[in-house]
Chain A
Amino acid sequence: MKSRTILFVALFSIVAGGCGGGGTTNIDIRNDDGKAVMALDYRDFDQAASEMVQSMISSGALKKQGGGRYVVATGRIVNDTMQRIDTDQLMAKIEEELMNSGQVVMTSAVGSGTDALVHETRELRDSEEFDQNTIAKRGTLIAPELSISGKIFQRNLRYDKNKQQVEYYFQLKLSDATSGLRYWQKESLIGKRGSNSSVAW
């Protein structure tokens, strides 16, 4: 009887222990009061993207002479940080805002945002299985007029004996695809200072 009670108590403890763990909570991503972390989190990307969009729009570089919208392609965004970052985390926000501004239309035909199906459907031109009238004709793709490229890089510095400083640089530039001239560029810096024991990657 005693051993059965001990077994029951032990089993209950294991189950109860596995259920606790501090409890998971959803992040209030609209008004997040959470502490800053040494690595890049979504708030940093939100802030960088917002700064970039506002700067790009206010520069007037996206306002097409004579009206209409620019066709923009996303080029290479280099991740030169110690973290595994999908650079789309930054560019998806920027592209979305730029398109919603009504000043540009993004292309999925070329660049890092390429949609493979745009090209795959064109390979069906000789297929008898497909109605050839429904397949895109030659010379129908629109080339980009502007391209966005950039880089995210990180510098780690020793601040003092117990603290480190991590600097994250977001750099973007907007170039004319025809002339190669650069119409806009911006660097956004996010700096963090914290314990040496915190890992920034």
Chain B
Amino acid sequence: MRILTVLCVLLMVLSVGCGSPSKDARVNARRGVGSDSLANNVITRPIRDAFEGLIGAGIVIDDAVVNRNNSSNFLQVFVSGHNKSSKTKRFRYRVEWLDADGMVIETKASVWQRMSAMGKSPFQIKCVAPRAEAVNFRMDTRKWE
């Protein structure tokens, strides 16, 4: 039991240190491009991948910023997040726009859109409301079949 605990802690420490070998966070040098490190190498990667599979690592939504588009003055939303998994996550999302009463505005623009986030990378989704009466939004996601 103690060994298992130590192994889990070790994996967590390794997975935290598995970032890009770039010194500038804005530049991502991926596997096969950047240099291997103590925490990210041919031995630790399979263990990390297995651990990620075990805990079900996926995308995490960090923030959603709503403002008015400068050009059209229509509501727009920027949803930013990151992919915790080492593998590319493909998913679909749909944004529904809500009016002042909280009712969904029926629009042909609210359809399932495709999105892809590479492993250990941030992503951003931008959506613009097609109606002036939109004051809020809600977003749903599902697997890209």
Interface, chain A (partner B; CB < 8 A): 31-33, 35-36, 43, 46-47, 49-51, 53-54, 57-63, 93, 96-97, 100-103
Contacts and interface: CB of A to CB of B under 8 A. Distances in A.
Tell me the dominant secondary structure on chain A's binding face. helix
B131 A63 contact: no
A50 B109 contact: yes
Chain B interface size, under 10 / 10 to 19 / 20 to 34 / 35 or more: 20 to 34
- Smallest CB-CB A-B distances: 10 pairs: A60-B71, A58-B128, A46-B111, A50-B109, A54-B128, A93-B108, A50-B111, A60-B72, A97-B130, A97-B108
B29 interface: no
Interface in B65-86: 69-74, 76
Contacts, number: 67
Tell me the dominant secondary structure on chain B's binding face. loop
Contacts of A46: 108, 111
A58 B107 contact: no
A97 B108 CA distance: 7
Contacts of B71: 58-61, 63
A63 B132 CA distance: 12
Interface in B94-145: 107-114, 127-128, 130-132, 142, 145
15 contacts: A32-B112, A33-B145, A47-B111, A47-B114, A49-B109, A50-B109, A50-B110, A53-B108, A53-B130, A58-B69, A58-B72, A60-B69, A60-B70, A96-B108, A102-B132
Contact of A53 (B109, B113, B132, B145): B109
Contacts of A32: 112
Contact of B109 (A54, A60, A62, A102): A54
Contact of B76 (A58, A61, A101): A58
A20 B77 CA distance: 48
B73 A49 contact: no
Contacts of B132: 101-102
A169 to B, nearest CB: 16
A80 to B, nearest CB: 24
Contacts of A31: 112, 142
